[in-house]
């Protein structure tokens, strides 16, 4: 997500809501980007926050797009992460967003993390690299998910 933030170009004013401290730090000095940092329990392994404070703030927002990083994408089980609290926050973020776009390299496909975020029916697009198998990309497209290979 930090790489995505580093390369984010905003032509007009943009508001970014994030649970990730490294993303907030990457964007904080951009003139045309306003950053809202969610609060909560800091996870040292990911430099992101989780918990009820972060979740409660989201109920007051309606975001146009959510860019979400995940630890696993399984075509039967859905999206997962390694931390249950992070999975709960991610569910709330999806609920506060009109469109969910998953950013995941091809190594994430066919894997399951500990905490389930959501099923594939809750996402609209996946952006990944060219090492995704044609079979997996086609299976996702058949489910109505836009697959963008970069």
Q: In order along the chain (150 residues), what is the average pLDDT of each group of 10 residues?
A: 88 93 95 94 91 94 97 96 96 98 97 97 98 97 97
* CATH of residue 52: 3.40.50.10470
Q: What is the pLDDT of residue 104?
A: 97
Q: What is the pLDDT of residue 136?
A: 97
Question: Which two three-digit tokens encode residue 56?
Answer: 């409660």
What are residue 21's phi and psi, to 5 degrees? -65, -40
Q: Give CA separation, 129 vs 30, 40, 84, 132, 149, in Å.
A: 27, 32, 27, 6, 5
Name the domain count of the chain.
1
Full domain range(s) for residue 19:
2-149
């Amino acid at each position: 997500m930090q790489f995505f933030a580093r390369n984010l170009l905003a032509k007009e004013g943009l508001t970014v809501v994030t649970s990730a401290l490294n993303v907030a730090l990457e964007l904080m000095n951009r003139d045309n980007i306003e950053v809202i940092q969610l609060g909560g329990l800091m996870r040292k392994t990911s430099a992101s926050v989780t918990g009820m404070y972060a979740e409660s703030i989201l109920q007051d927002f309606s975001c146009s797009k959510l860019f979400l990083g995940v630890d696993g994408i399984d075509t039967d089980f859905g999206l997962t992460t390694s931390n249950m609290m992070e999975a709960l926050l991610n569910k709330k973020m999806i609920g506060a967003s009109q469109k969910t776009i998953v950013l995941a390299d091809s190594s994430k496909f066919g894997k399951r993390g500990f905490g389930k975020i959501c099923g594939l029916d809750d996402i609209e697009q996946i952006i990944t690299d060219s090492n995704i198998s044609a079979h997996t990309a086609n299976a996702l497209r058949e489910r109505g998910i836009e697959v963008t290979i970069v």
